[in-house]
């Protein structure tokens, strides 16, 4: 009877090798999934931190540019400038470009209105008005092209084997720009 009881207890206690292997495989898949999620979270957090630094650097450089440009005519401002940031941001470089905007011709009058005749061959009284409108449009286009600049700040840094960049643009208006009446 004791022998029978021992055999019964031995066969009913513990796990078989197959059950143990299946449990280990399930735990391995679960731990690998947790590790993958944590790794992805750490990478995302590092990338967000880096983009926060890049945004701050771009903002600061744009503010510095505002102080440099303020009160100066655009012809005294460098068209392009590139430098590396100082410690602790020596891994980042910046480029600032100041570009003149070219406005398209905003002419509204046609060729017949410009020469003062209408379709019937007679004089067009509105031709003079169209010519004045065209001259004013040319003057405004020239003025706006000279008074407005696009300022772009680009931050670059190394990431892995490549280079990343982030650009911010704004438009500056020189309110003291002279209005020229010559064509």
pLDDT tens digits for range 33-50:
999 999 899 989 988 998
In this predicted model, which residue has the larger pLDDT, 31 or 118? 31
What's the rounded mean pLDDT across residues 6-16?
68
Q: Which of 59-68, 98-107, 117-126, 173-182 has the lowest mean pLDDT?
A: 117-126
Give residue 126's pLDDT: 56
| Exposed e or buried b per residue across 123-158, where buried means at least 16 C-beta atoms within 10 angstroms of its C-beta | ebeebeebeebbeeeeeebbeeebbbbebbbbbbbe
pTM of this prediction? 0.63
Please give the average per-residue pLDDT across 115-128, as a whole number.
52
Residue 113 has pLDDT above 50, yes or no: no
Q: 114: part of which helix (H) or strand (E)?
A: helix 111-114
Comparison of pLDDT for 44 and 106, the residue scoring more? 44
CB 151 within 8 A of CB 172: yes
Give CA–CA dist 20/23, Å, rounded.
5
Neighbours of 57 (CB within 10 A): 19
Of residues 34 and 75, which shows the higher confidence score? 34
Place of tokens 């905003």: 106
pLDDT score of 114 more than 60: no
Mean pLDDT confidence for 64-78: 84
Mean pLDDT of the chain: 81
* DSSP state at residue 126: T
């Amino acid at each position: 009877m004791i022998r029978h009881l021992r055999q019964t207890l031995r066969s009913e206690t513990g796990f078989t090798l197959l059950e143990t292997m299946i449990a280990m495989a399930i735990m391995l898949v679960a731990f690998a999934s947790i590790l993958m999620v944590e790794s992805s979270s750490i990478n995302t957090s590092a990338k967000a931190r880096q983009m926060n630094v890049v945004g701050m650097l771009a903002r600061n450089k744009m503010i510095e540019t505002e102080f440099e440009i303020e009160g100066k005519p655009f012809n005294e401002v460098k068209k392009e400038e590139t430098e590396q940031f100082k410690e602790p941001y020596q891994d980042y470089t910046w480029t600032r470009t100041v570009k003149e905007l070219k406005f398209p011709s905003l002419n509204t009058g046609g060729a017949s209105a410009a020469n003062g005749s209408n379709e019937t061959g007679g004089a067009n009284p509105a031709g003079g008005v169209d010519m004045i409108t065209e001259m004013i449009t040319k003057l405004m286009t020239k003025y706006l092209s000279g008074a407005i600049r696009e300022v772009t700040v680009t931050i670059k840094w190394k990431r892995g084997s490549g280079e990343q960049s982030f650009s911010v643009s704004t438009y500056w208006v020189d309110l003291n720009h002279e209005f020229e009446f010559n064509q």
